[in-house]
Structure 1
Amino acid sequence: MANETPEASLGMTIDDDPVAIVERVYQLWWHWANFELYIVSPSITPISPPLVLEPEILPGTNEREFVYNIDDHGFKLVTSKGEDMYTSGMSMCKLFNTIEKMIYLLIERLRSGGVDEETEVQVAFGGHILAQRKAFESIINLSYNVVVTNFDPGDWGENYLQIVKRLADRGYGYPSPTPRDRRHVPATPRFTR
């Protein structure tokens, strides 16, 4: 017993604990979170090399949209928190605004391509699960007939719809239709005494 190291007496160190390792990997992915929106149908011509869509300057200001860059490959739109991973931490606000912009770009692409609201459009998601849930929430509030082919909302989706219905029954209304205005500049709340 006297020769035993502290790690041996505990049985496992933090570096050997599989649950701790998975939690750290998930935290890292959350800090770096990415999202991909694929247009499966109708067929869209690929753009090569992809266009990099930077945040636009807001009218009447020198401020830029509170969104990340979007890589536009024509048939897919890609973004990531990678540029802010050390400063944004676990906040998903800027990524969620970027997803709203990607949904807006999807609808503009469909309109410019002559696709009407009744035609079924199939899309697929990739990336962090929270980003996929945000995109799903936006997609189901579109006036266009957009179907997500690879995302099963499961229990989360059922809970989300129940909460939306409960809030609507209490007079708060339903979520606004998408695409939503995402041209916000973040502001720090002011506390008054």
Structure 2
Amino acid sequence: MSRDSIPAEIRRAVLVEAGHRCAIPTCRATTTEIAHIVPWAESHDHSFENLIALCPNCHTRFDQKKEMDRLAVKMYKHNLGILNNRYGEFERRLFEVLAKSNERVFVLGAAGDLLVANAVKDGFFEDKHVQGMSLDINGDNGFSKSFPMTFTYWVTDAGVEFIKRFSNGNDIA
């Protein structure tokens, strides 16, 4: 059976799902290839569920060198759906940085509380309310408001576990 090309709309959806980057959380290189989770020769399946965005190196590691097994790649695909529906781009990048650095404390600038709101809500980060720089506004009419310009967060034990599962390709649900 000859191999049809992957339909453009499915190819696009797979790339968008991964943010046009490799789906492997410890890689995230610019994606240029679409891989079949269950090989085409075995499945003849070009469905969105059977495709994942991988960089050429990770694609080779998966398909040819067998350094990643199919279950791991299925889990990366599964986790992408959760990450994309729950966490913003900033939170996802922060998870990647924290996975590599193993840091437990980080500081964000103005509006940092908004950028990590879902991770805080899920108990992965805790705002330590460290006094820092603030912007104080005092109006002529008696109005007064102070806005924090820095936010100091601690990665909770639950956050450490989540980030480990994420970076190792384990189920993050």
In the superposition, the TM-score normalised over structure 2's length comes to 0.28
